Amino acid sequence: MTHSGVSDSVSASCGARLSSASPSPTLQALAFFETLVTVLPVRSVSDRTCFRRVVQWLAEGVGAGRLGDGAFAEALLYTREACLGKPRSPHAVFLSILRKELGYDPKRRKGREGLCPPPGKPIGWASHPHPGP
């Protein structure tokens, strides 16, 4: 499929689904995932997990108001951009663009404020129980 074919596919398949009278973030997430795996085919279980987490992050962001209603459509444009120029890994390019443009951080989990422990907790191996002799 050529890049113009990808563009037409994204516009036709997802544009119509995402432009209807402001569907819920869940419906947007389903339409986005379908189109995402069409444009960037899943090659492994890791790819599927990564895409699932991206979709979940977008849905939570739109639902909570952190991301605008157009976040799914914007992310689809990034999938197209990731395919331009035949990169070795369009999946990696897509995630890089998401990080730069939308602030996606795959290491940040719900309920965690970063990688540092809360105040008063030891850092590193000291935080893990050490087996006795």
- Mean of pLDDT over the chain: 75
Best CA proximity match to 96, nearest among 73, 115, 72, 79? 79
For CA atoms 38, 40, 44, 47, the dihedral sign is negative
Note the Cα 32 to chain centre separation in Å.
Answer: 10
Q: Are 15 and 33 in contact (CB under 8 A)?
A: no
pLDDT tens sequence across 24-36: 778 889 999 999 9
Can you give the pTM of this predicted structure?
0.64
DSSP characters over 6-41: HHHHIIIIIIHHHSSS---HHHHHHHHHHHHHHHS-
